[in-house]
Structure 1
């Protein structure tokens, strides 16, 4: 099953950093422990929420190794390896495999805006670089290029391309691709987790899951068990936190602020061009965290 390759309750993990911008090893260990304790069964390392554009190749591999060593097989370790450079992405994929990754997350090439044929060539080249299963990452708001339905259907023929993290938000296209291919879908938009799960998604890749992976686990179980009343109640309980994390500045910034506020990581530090949350955002976040502490 695909959830054995990637998990179902997957978290797009932040990268804990010190105020001077270095990787924070104690924060990383504490965060992995927290994610495992709250029911996360897949951890994306070095993805968008992990501030991948500012990670060096050495840091990316080091993070994969650290998370793999800390998790001891209790969660799938999914390495974000996508860049706008196919050769560099393939190199990162090989380095991630050597560092202990269980799977790869491959974003559509950004900035260069290739043709759909170029997207296919890029993804197949990177998928051919290792023996690891690949989750495609479709997020046109960041990359400038969407993976079109025909492209996803074409890529589904590759034996190692097994899943899609959909941050496009076209639910009809998602169910259409699910009907036409064996690709597993993962919701990459926290605001739409329930909608995607109800339409057949295997799971979620969640930013808010850095804080509430346990609530996401309950949501997945409720949908799989056909208990939509409970699923709706869970989703509604998360609205304030999803709003605060995803709709103020951006997810990586606010997820770190939430984790620091809860004492899980020691610092909310981010690397430029990101900036830490201003006081009004922190006030909104504190209010949201208080609502999550209440029972559903």
Structure 2
């Protein structure tokens, strides 16, 4: 039986930019803060990391640097998905060569592949690497949803070990858990659904909010893994306003703005992403103050 790549709270870490380039020293500082707070895995070059705005060379160097900085302390999972299968294979092989412990593969966006197309896409990529593959289902951004029955087919591949589920469809997640083998693992892709998904058999979260509150997200998942769902549910409710504020505009605009306000990094975004509205910036600031994450 396969074991999960990690259990608990993995951070979908932001990519700090400075002077139009990736600020690797700032990234190293963020990684160290995460590990000090108990984060269980680092997910680099994902949606929150703005990988789609980075050059190929930037992505690979960022993954390589992350692996070097983590130095085996927790798993490093590299986002290597694309809307083209051939490009995804190349990204995945190079991420493997850069030292990533596992790969996170978003559904091919824009193309809106059929379920048969999704199966073929993922099987081709998984055949091309020897690292564990986590699927990433986020239909709000890609325009395509992975059906539970499709997970059943993909779970048969020895390299495809689970999914980051950000569909928001708890009914489909229940069906996935019922249909798939026990060693096909589910991680929440939405911070505010961490506890519900863990109740349904999930093993943790790949978190945006952990960028600014890593210890809280780690504690939330530890309560779930310990089976203390009463305390976990109370903490999930307590964190709801923070989760909502971090998605008041498209991710990662709010979380990067928050990190800039907290002095964690510059908070610079790459076009076509840009700063939030004045009203949302104030909402982010006031929420951080309310949670004690920055002074008034």
TM-score by length of 2: 0.94
Equivalent residue, structure 2, for 1:27? 26
**Residues 237 and 291 in structure 1, CA contact (< 8 A), matched pair in contact too:** no
Alignment of 1:155-170 (within 5 A): 155-170=154-169
1:257 aligns with 2:220: no
Structure 1 residue 97 displacement after superposition: 0.6
Structure 1 107/173 Cα, relative in aligned 2: closer, same or farther at 3 Å?
Answer: same
Structure 1 12/189 Cα, relative in aligned 2: closer, same or farther at 3 Å?
Answer: same
Q: Which moved more, 1:225-234 or 1:160-169?
A: 225-234
Structure 1 residue 64 displacement after superposition: 0.7
Equivalent residue, structure 2, for 1:39? 38
Instruction: Give the match's secondary structure for 2:212.
Output: helix
**Residues 13 and 43 in structure 1, CA contact (< 8 A), matched pair in contact too:** yes
1:187, 1:167 → 2: CA distance?
A: 6
Instruction: Give the match's secondary structure for 1:250.
Output: coil
Equivalent residue, structure 2, for 1:279? 278
Structure 1 58/129 Cα, relative in aligned 2: closer, same or farther at 3 Å?
Answer: same
Equivalent residue, structure 2, for 1:15? 15
**Residues 15 and 22 in structure 2, CA contact (< 8 A), matched pair in contact too:** yes
Q: Which moved more, 1:157-166 or 1:110-119?
A: 110-119
1:103, 1:173 → 2: CA distance?
A: 25
Unaligned runs of 5+ in 1: none
* Shift >6 Å, 4+ stretches: none
**Residues 21 and 269 in structure 1, CA contact (< 8 A), matched pair in contact too:** no
Structure 1 residue 168 displacement after superposition: 0.6
Alignment of 1:71-82 (within 5 A): 71-82=70-81
1:223, 1:25 → 2: CA distance?
A: 33
2:95, 2:2 → 1: CA distance?
A: 20
Structure 1 residue 29 displacement after superposition: 1.0
Paired residues in the alignment total: 291
**Residues 8 and 222 in structure 2, CA contact (< 8 A), matched pair in contact too:** no
Equivalent residue, structure 2, for 1:179? 178
2:272, 2:129 → 1: CA distance?
A: 32
Equivalent residue, structure 1, for 2:60? 61
**Residues 16 and 28 in structure 1, CA contact (< 8 A), matched pair in contact too:** yes
What's the Cα RMSD here?
Answer: 1.5
Instruction: Give the match's secondary structure for 1:162.
Output: strand
Alignment of 1:182-221 (within 5 A): 182=181, 183-221=184-222
Q: Higher helix share goes to which structure?
A: 1
1:172, 1:237 → 2: CA distance?
A: 24
For each residue in 1:203-225, what CA deviation from the matched residue of structure 2 results, as whole angstroms up to 9, or x when unmatched? 10111111112111111121222
Structure 1 208/67 Cα, relative in aligned 2: closer, same or farther at 3 Å?
Answer: same
Structure 1 residue 269 displacement after superposition: 0.5
Structure 1 residue 175 displacement after superposition: 2.0
For each residue in 1:234-259, what CA deviation from the matched residue of structure 2 results, as whole angstroms up to 9, or x when unmatched? 1122122111111x212211111111
Structure 1 residue 293 displacement after superposition: 2.2
Unaligned runs of 5+ in 2: none
